[in-house]
Amino acid sequence: MSHKKADSYIHIDVEFGEGEGKIPVDSIAKRAEAYKPKEKVTYKMIKEYIEAKYGFKVHTAYIAEVKRNLGLPMYDAPNAVEELKQPRKHPTPEKVEAIKDALRYFAVI
C-alpha cells in the first residue's frame, strides 16, 4: 500500500501576519497557551515553598494528610503498605496552615 501513488493532491497556502486574509501569529500563540496543561504540583515543590517562606520543613506524610482532609484527589502509592508499623503523627496547626497556604499558592485549592 505504501508504494501506491496518490490519486489527487490538495494544495493550501496559509499566510501568517497582519492584514486581509492572513492569520495573525499572536492569536495562535494565545490559543496555544490556553490549551497548555497546568504544571503538575509535586510534594517537593510544596516542601520547598514552605521552607523558603516559613523556615521549617514538613514531611510528605503531613502534606498527604492535609490533602486527604481537604478531600483532594490522592494517587495510589506503589510502595504503600497494608498496615503501618507506627501510628501516624498529626501535623501541628502551624504546619497545617503552611501547607494550606502552599496549596493555595500553587492553585490546588
The predicted pLDDT at position 2 comes to 66
Angle (nearest 5°) at CA 42 between 41 and 43: 130
DSSP the chain: -TTPPPS--------BSSSTT-B-HHHHHHHHHHHSPPPPPPHHHHHHHHHHHHS----HHHHHHHHHHHT------TT--SS-SSPPPPPPHHHHHHHHHHHHHTT--
Please report, in tens digits, the pLDDT of each residue of the chain (109 residues total).
567 787 888 888 888 888 887 878 888 888 888 888 888 899 999 999 999 999 999 999 999 999 999 999 888 888 888 888 888 889 999 999 999 999 999 999 8
Check residue 81 and give its pLDDT: 84
pTM above 0.85, yes or no: no
* Residue 90 near residue 70, CB atoms below 8 Å: no
Q: How far apart are CA 58 and CA 56, in angstroms?
A: 7
C-alpha cell of residue 15: 499566510
